[in-house]
Amino acid sequence: MIVGSWDPNELAYKRLRIKPEWQSTFQIGTLENKTLRVTTILNDPYCMYTESSETKIGNERFEGYIIDLVEELSKLLGFKYIFKLVDDGVYGTNENGEWNGLIVNE
């Protein structure tokens, strides 16, 4: 499922393009008071365990770029989130000719 795309060569306000069928989902206010499950893998510097992760629970176990990015987005859009590491620890694999991963190349 592709929700949108990012074009770094566009003007700042045009870089993020949300497909029309998803635009109502991603407007300011539509995520308020919702809890999102954010799936990721451990991959420095994007998502890493904190030095004291053994003594922490939940989101406090993680640090990195994606952790900081989701935190800032949650402040702007008013949602809560739970990080979940993918079970197989990879971005995805091509099984039976079907991609099953987090990242889709269109």
Q: What is the pLDDT along the chain (106 residues), one digit of tens a residue?
A: 677 777 778 776 677 778 888 777 766 667 788 899 898 999 999 999 999 999 999 999 999 999 999 998 888 788 899 999 988 888 788 778 777 776 555 4
At 30, the amino acid letter reads T
CA angle 65, 103, 24 (to 5 degrees): 85
For CATH 3.40.190.10, list the domain ranges present in the chain. Answer: 32-90
The H-or-E segment that residue 71 falls in is helix 65-77
pLDDT on residue 60: 96
* For residue 8, cis peptide bond before it (omega within 30 degrees of 0): no
pLDDT on residue 104: 53
Fold annotation for 32-90: D-Maltodextrin-Binding Protein; domain 2 (3.40.190)
Query: What is each CA distance from 48 to 6, 18, 37, 59, 92, in whole angstroms?
Result: 25, 29, 17, 11, 18
